[in-house]
Amino acid sequence: MDLGLEGRTAVVTGASRGIGLAIVRALAEAGALVIAGARGSSPELGELVRTRSVQALAVDLADPAGAGQLTALAGDRIDILVNNVGAAPARTGGFLAITDDDWQASITLNLMTAVRTTRAVLPLMLAAGQGVIVNTCSVNARLPDPAVMDYSAAKAGLASFSKSLSKEVGPHGIRVNTVSPGPVATDLWLGRSGVAATVSAATGARPEDVEHDAARQMVTGRFTRPEEVADLVVFLASDRTANVTGADFTIDGGLITTL
């Protein structure tokens, strides 16, 4: 399916691995020029820079200046913004063990990075009279979990911000939607310091058992693949969804069973 993204310019944050890397690849394959931002690169992102229309910038988006540095690389045209950067540290010590610094870090990375990057690109979109913003949210915005309490709260804030912004900028030709994955087969869950390993260290359960227990909570019995999230994001970035805004799209293998 031709999504009409040839020649569009997209900015993607958290782009060096996992969901972000998959989104960069999918957008580039669809013909977009992609500006990829992450604290560091990766061999996979480096390969995309060499072989596709992808430019990468090492940038810390937790720094308030980072958003401007990244969007400046795109020049005077940005058609698509994908706010994907985030982190979900497992809080195995409970609420009282979550410090002010932990709360601030979660809110900064999971909410304020999106606020700041959106603030940086919005004048260009308003001037053009069009644009698409897709924010990677989470099922935890609606399914709060004490194991990721601060992350859940920050993602709930991101969901509310996205809905509010969609109402403001929709009349100006700009669409804002969120994609809310459940557990995804990335390092965030399955890496050496991911959720499964952290819970394993705290409980004595094997990491693979933690993973399997999580997978069993989903109707499909498996984690979502990064490429599946990326396909949804790219579809929302296209004109095929030109009248879709202010919406949240859950991709969680049936984890959330309520309406």
Residues noted as catalytic: 151
DSSP 8-state assignment for residue 225: P
Q: What distance in Å separates the CA atoms of residue 48 and residue 247, rounded to the nearest whole number?
A: 30
The stretches of the chain forming alpha helices (DSSP H) are: 18-29, 43-51, 66-72, 100-107, 113-128, 149-169, 187-190, 195-203, 207-216, 226-237
CB within 8 A of 158, min separation 6: which ones?
Answer: 110, 111, 114, 135, 137, 141, 178
Placement of tokens 């087969």 in the chain: 185
CA count, 13 A, side-chain hemisphere, 14: 26
Which helix H or strand E contains 10, and what residues bound it? strand 9-13
Closest to 183 (Cα-Cα) out of 241, 226, 238? 226
Q: What distance in Å separates the CA atoms of residue 176 and residue 108, rounded to the nearest whole number?
A: 20
- Give the end-to-end CA distance of the chain in Å, rounded to a whole number: 30
DSSP-assigned states of every residue in 31-85: T-EEEEEESS--HHHHHHHHHSSEEEEE--TTSTTHHHHHHHTTTT---EEEE--
